[in-house]
Structure 1
Amino acid sequence: MNRPSIHFDIAVEQAFDFLSPEYAELFDGSAATAFQHPLWLHSLYTRLASHAGADALVVVVRHRATRALAMVLPLLRVRHGPIRTVEFADLRVSDYLAPVCSPKVFSQLLADESACAEIRCLVGPFDLLRMTKLPDGRLPIENLLDAPRRVAMDTNAYATVLVAPFDKWRASAMDRSYQKELAKKYRQLQKKGALSFSCCNDSASVLEALDVMRKFRGPRFQSQGDGDLLQRPEYYGFYSDVAVRGLGDFVRLYAMKMDGEVIAAVLGLCHQGSFLVIMSAFDIAGYKSQSLGALMFEQVAKDCIERGDQMLDFTIGDEPYKKLFGGQPSPMWTVTQAGSTAGAIALFALKQAPWLKLAAKRVSEFRLLPTRSSTPAR
């Protein structure tokens, strides 16, 4: 039997209060990302977990001497058919996943073999441990859990460094011909009516923009996977809750309007001088040749620079438009570990997935199967 740590008290707190002052203090001093923000995790656990059939597995570590929070691991137990998995609190809404802990305390935990053993015991049992969407250069969760080394995902995250003034950033980040093309399309758009761009500043304007986003995104994602998350009541409730409660501090929702009607919107999170884009929608049918998305992101970048932001983060996904705005790729990582024979079989199947996709693509090129693009549902 493992001896308990003499420095840390470790327990699972399924009803952990992510809106508590102690968690806010821990988060502010941690190396966590915007997707571990108090509001984000509170809404995820209270609004989404039950709909997904997921059980909270919140590992809480406290300093024994002071009872102050040292680390929080926001995890979930999720059953995928017969496979019992343990994973970060994601449920398809988070782009970056990380322990909520400072680098200094994390190093202390890694040096405490008893603490590590306790954490590993509380995380189990599982058939499959699956930690995806780990940003580059973050805390090595695999060392804490004694899991295999992380491996690169088949997708990257993209961000562009912002510099003031806007014209200087645009000249350095965007190709000159693309700048001229967008300027021409913006002039064309202005001729169609009264054009405006703004950041929503109250709950009414937020809900109006989200309703329009849901309308625009429905047809766009209807034939891809299981559709757009905003079409599902529990996910719409999640995004609405986070947007309204976090407005002005943690959340920004930008809207472009034509004659008072929303024609484009971008929802994102604010964290440590960065604006992270998490969802966008555009009236593509009404403005087919106007490049609404590009014009919208250009205006978002301008507003971010005027607010003093240092980074516009397009988050995970290899969509080509991100490079057009100076987005630089950053690798994303995943950690997986089998905890049973069933888990080992499932892990083997996951590792073969890229080969299966490639095989399907090659067959489709011979017109034996219909081709189908894969665009993320978020």
Structure 2
Amino acid sequence: MSETSRNTMIPNHYTASLSALDLTIAQAVPPGGNWKDIPETVPSKRLQQIRASYAAGKGSRSTYYGRLRPDAPAYTINTYFTRPGNGCHLHYDYSGGQHRTLSQREAARLQSFPDRFVFRGSHIAVSRQIGNAVPPLLAYQVARAIPTRGLFADLFSGAGGLSLGFQWAGWQPVVANDVDEAALLTYRDNIHDVIVLGDIREHHVIDAIIQKCEEARDASPNMPFFVLGGPPCQGFSTAGNRRFVGDERNWLFRQYKAVLERLQPDGFVFENVPGLLNMEGGSVFRAIRDELASTTKQLVVWRLRAEEYGVPQRRTRVILVGDSSGDVESEPPKTVTQLGNNMSLFNELPAAVSVRDALSDLPALRPGEDGSHKDYTHDPEHPYQEFVRGLIGPEEYLRALNDRL
């Protein structure tokens, strides 16, 4: 390797420690396996609870204590990826002895963050930022589907997955807001330095956001302006009539709408979890959709699976795009990859990017080890590795996927 590559740092390549019990459990689970592969002689109250729940017909719990398959995308990366019992989080390299959970850099890669994107804060704060993020590569393809480029504000921004994708597509950030200080420090260091820390329900916070947006629009009056964001919606209740007052979490959505009403942007992108579609029989989603539709000329709804957009992770998101021009297509962005079990001779798309495609060049770690000082183990073996290492951009990466057919 060159002198430059030998000096490379891989930030956030840290993996959590494991107890002796969790290490024993990890050593029993093969690639693609889960809690069912763990001998009943292993003394674990949690395993007893999982087995009892399964026996009672309360679900398969198929991802608990799961080990990733090297030849398939990861399951959804959540905020608990450092815990082996809370999902499919064990490293795929069983034969290589990597009996540990994913490192924070590995989880960030599976979310499509480039290696140069450095997360700030404690280990707990970093895991939360990674697990809560929108995959930037998915956001990039959403941004490309909007037939304009302009300015944007990002509400409930977290570390900035949505913003990074839009920035890749040629959009310019104006301001970001969140209540998570560590996430905003990450945003500031990687994307844009104009941030507003605080609860958007506070008048001085929303006023500060509006002021920053108006200043940017005054400076560039001919540029389109969009508002991005994914306010939490678990507090909505619509039994009979819409009730936005009973739970404070509802006001987060109302404040998002209030920003739209005050700024009257050219459009917006609203992101949320797929469970929103079925909450209270779909009535919550319909209420949100109708509220947002009242602020714009056109509203389109997309249900996007990240693994179909070149992201090495099975993660579904609901995207609502409002557009005052009416030029956004109702059809979602074209998919670029497909899961192996969905492949056919009539659908000429490359296979979904696998965990091994995404991670094989990262150095091995022991449980509890920080490998941020280590170097890559070899040159990129897949376009995805070139992409996350900054050797090619997102558009070139998507073209390279197609070239592999």
**TM-score, normalisation: structure 2:** 0.28
* Structure that is richer in strand per residue: 1
Relative contact order, higher structure (CA 8 A, sep 6+): 1
**TM-score, normalisation: structure 1:** 0.29
